[in-house]
Amino acid sequence: MSDARRDEDHEAGPPVPAADESADGVESAEDVRQEALLLERALGGWRGIIDSGLPTVVFVIAYLVTGSDLRPSLIAAVGAGVVIVVWRLARRQPLQQVLAGFVGLLIAAWFSSRTGRAEDVFLPGMLLNIGYGAAFLISILVRWPLLGIAMGYLTGEGTSWRGDPDLRQVYAAASWIWVGVFGLRLVVQVPLYLAGAVAPLGVAKVILGWPLYLAGAYATYRVLAPVYRARRARNS
């Protein structure tokens, strides 16, 4: 599938899971594709994660090449962000996620330039992980798991899923996966931040960015797919 086609699928309206299944109850390839696209929309998409990783790589490389000179390293990182935005514009791709990432990059660069500490480039991202992790955790504790809210909105079911104890439990279990994702990032990054280890921080951010995101998305899919499959079988 081409990048353009993938972007069209990603930005189109919420895909409706296909109802056709084989006689033995195994999902068709189209079912799997539709469920994966739906989950991608609920979680925010992998493209923004990858776009946000490139400026980090550029920053770390520039920081090492310039002998820990903060100013040119920040300029290089922001320049990489500008290139990403221009590239998306040239391809006429939606900019919601990339612009959000670029604004975050500008905030991180400004904050680090004010403190004069290179490791502070990573502080806004860590604070964001704290916020996301806390939001998912609180939503589970109050029995309104965020993943259920997102999926309910995208499928047009609203909050009707809360009337199904099994579905509510599955959404809670899937939300725990993301508590783990954000928590793992903090467990690794916070000690490195406190130690002022800039290069290891950059490596950790990249590794715990899109690779960990993809792992979390796959685990979430494995949790949710059987439930949607069973519901389609009951309704067919």
Instruction: Judge whether 40 and 54 are in contact, CB under 8 Å.
Output: no
What separation in angstroms does the CA of 2 have from each of 7, 9, 135, 140? 9, 11, 35, 37
Q: One-letter amino acid identity for 113?
A: S
Predicted structure pTM score: 0.75
DSSP 150: H
Give buried/exposed letters for 96-132 (b at 16+ CB in 10 A, else e).
Answer: ebbbebbebbeebbeebeeeeebbbbbbbbbeebeeb
What does R_g of the chain's alpha carbons equal in angstroms? 20
DSSP 13: S
Q: Is 117 helix (H, G, I), strand (E, B) or coil?
A: coil
**Tokens 């259920």 found at:** 148
CA distance 60 to 76: 10
Cβ-count burial of 26 within 10 angstroms (0-12 exposed, 13-18 middle, 19+ buried)?
Answer: exposed
Give me the pLDDT at residue 102, please: 85
Give buried/exposed letters for 174-208 (b at 16+ CB in 10 A, else e).
Answer: bbbbbbbbbebbbebbeebbeeeebebbbebbbeb
DSSP 236: -
Please give the chain's pLDDT, 236 residues, in tens: 444 444 444 333 333 333 334 434 445 566 566 656 655 655 555 566 667 678 988 999 999 999 999 999 999 999 999 998 898 888 887 777 678 778 889 999 999 999 999 999 999 999 999 999 999 999 999 999 999 998 888 778 888 888 888 888 999 999 999 999 999 999 999 999 999 999 999 999 988 988 888 888 889 988 988 877 777 777 66
Handedness of CA 42, 22, 215, 145 (dihedral sign): positive
CA distance 121 to 106: 10
